[in-house]
Structure 1
Amino acid sequence: MTGLRDQLADYLTLRRALGYRLQRPEKLLDQFLEHLEHHGEEVVTVVSALDWARLPASGASNWWAYRLGVVRGFATYLHAIDPAHEVPATGLLPQRPLRASPYLYSDAEIATLIAATATLRTPLRQVTFATLIGLLATTGMRIGEAISLDRGDVDLAGGRLTIRSGKFGKTRQLALHPTTIEALNTYRRLRGRFAPRTGTSAFFVSMAGTRLIYCNVHNTFHRLVQLTGLSPRSPSCRPRIHDLRHTFAVKTMLDAYAADEDGQTRLTLLSTWLGHVHPASTYWYLSAAPELMALAAGRLETHLAGGSEVR
């Protein structure tokens, strides 16, 4: 099994060189190899892949399909090296397309979430999550980018953040509003007072003085959502921490339309700001906002009626 372990390391190295992070796939593939080891198998087969993918037995079909897809990618790599490895065909496990509808927060809801951080256990935890939520709401950063920030990435004198952990390894800089700079300065001062000295380079720290972990951030945010009484608007539209990013994107475009700016120019700038590779990715963030779609439709109607140019 050492051979498969070595080949997994090579596979992950190759994929990461192409810009993929593969944090979850790495964990799943490690579990898959443990499954093969337990059954004394040294070659990937369709049967072994299906047996492992359909765990746990009570799992959802989409989760099973995702697990099999992770194995399929690795098996394809292995098959190119040794045809004895079998590649599971696509469609072996049914998968229902499911994409969450963005939950667009109002300013009042964001303020309520920040206020709810006062219920957390310690002063450090309170100020960490209040500042983190505020930063996500005012910059549209991904949560993974925010918790990956190092202290050297936060230039408060220059009013800029450097994001080095964006998708596909992209680095970008974000200019900060004066109120955001003030909030980050306050956090830095209180972090120095409350956080244990661990020598971590992380800007946002846990009660142990270590870098925040995504699953813990997600769980705490979910608890704050429950405390504030925010409820789903539909089965596919539930308040998530990632929706702070959607909300930022929509509000940015609404402001552009309100100021009668060129929407296409603002969309291009917004796509760069958010770290998207293609503007089409940014469009998905915007298509779920009825107000924005109504404004765009209004401009189109004006154009078709012989009025001003669509922008």
Structure 2
Amino acid sequence: MTVFARFLGEKAERYIELRQSLGYSFSKQAGTLRAFVRYVERAQLDAPATRTMALDFVLSFGGAANSRATRHGVLSRFYEYLAVYDAQTETLERRVFPRSRAIPPPRILSESELASLIDACARISPDIPLRGARWRR
């Protein structure tokens, strides 16, 4: 393990502990940061943490545009934390990867699915029969 990868790993673990102590669940983000440390270690990259390093890591994964934007956002906030300990750490631009705003198409129910849904509405509240009848309309 390189000196930089060890340093990065220690800071990533402290950052994860900090975020969790503030009440964030931070489990997926922690996985992203640990994967970033492994990436730096495998690639034998040296200090400082750069934009190119972060972009190469984010692009090394497949997936949707939102996934890349999320990973980059996690690294962006971590880089801000890391800059306190290493002044040469580059800042990352916030909106490098666009998020998808696509709205999924509506799902059209078949006749049998619609009938099943209406029947389920009638049984929604057995103690109050009028509630079920109102939902069934």
Decide: shared fold, TM above 0.5.
Answer: yes
Structure number with higher relative contact order (C-alpha < 8 Å, ≥ 6 residues apart): 2
SS in 2 for 1:44: coil
Query: Who is 1:270 aligned against?
Result: none
Gaps in structure 1 of 5+ consecutive residues: 112-254, 259-290, 292-311
**What's the CA shift string for 1:263-288, capped at 9, x where partnerless?**
xxxxxxxxxxxxxxxxxxxxxxxxxx
- 1:99 & 1:5 partners in 2: Cα distance? 38
Corresponding residue of 1:46: 51
Question: How far apart are the structure 2 equivalents of 1:85 and 1:99?
Answer: 37
Identity %: 27
User: What amino acid sits opposite 2:58 in the alignment?
Assistant: A
The corresponding residue for 1:19 is 23
* SS across alignment from 1:65: helix
C-alpha separation between the residues in 1 aligned to 2:81 and 2:39?
Answer: 19
1:79 is matched with 83
Task: Give the aligned partner of residue 34 of structure 1.
Answer: 38
**CA separation of 1:83/1:19 partners in 2, compared to 1, >3 Å: closer, same or farther?**
same
Structure 2 counterparts to residues 266-305 of structure 1, below 5 A? none
Q: 1:13 deviation in Å?
A: 1.2
Which of 91, 106, 115 in structure 1 is aligned with 2:95? 91
Question: CA 1:88–1:99 in 2, change beyond 3 Å: closer, same or farther?
Answer: farther
Asked if 1:10 corresponds to 2:22, the answer is no
Q: Tell me how far apart the structure 2 counterparts of residues 2 and 51 of structure 1 sit (CA, whole Å).
A: 20
Q: TM-score, normalised by structure 2?
A: 0.67
Q: Note the residue ranges of structure 2 that are not aligned, 5 or more in a row.
A: 108-116, 124-130
Measure, in 1, the Cα distance between the counterparts of 2:40 and 2:20: 24
TM-score (norm: length of structure 1): 0.31
Alpha-carbon deviations, 1:146-184, whole Å to 9, x = none? xxxxxxxxxxxxxxxxxxxxxxxxxxxxxxxxxxxxxxx
Hey, what's the Cα distance between the residues in 2 that align with 1:14 and 1:99?
35
Report the equivalent of 2:72: 68
CA displacement at 1:97 relative to structure 2? 3.6
Q: Per-residue CA shift, 1:226-246, capped at 9, x if unaligned? A: xxxxxxxxxxxxxxxxxxxxx
Tell me how far apart the structure 2 counterparts of residues 65 and 45 of structure 1 sit (CA, whole Å): 17
- Cα 1:45/1:99, change in 2 over 3 Å: farther
What do the CA deviations read for 1:76-113 (whole angstroms, capped 9, x no partner)?
A: 1001221211121111112224688xx9xx5839x9xx
> How far apart in 1 are the matches of 2:102 and 2:15?
28
Q: Is the contact made by 1:55 and 1:64 (CA closer than 8 Å) also made in structure 2?
A: no
CA distance in 1: counterparts of 2:99 and 2:19, whole angstroms: 24
Measured on the aligned residues, the alpha-carbon RMSD in Å equals 2.8
CA positional deviation for 1:59: 2.2
Query: 2:23, 2:103 → 1: CA distance?
Result: 23
Aligned positions, number: 108
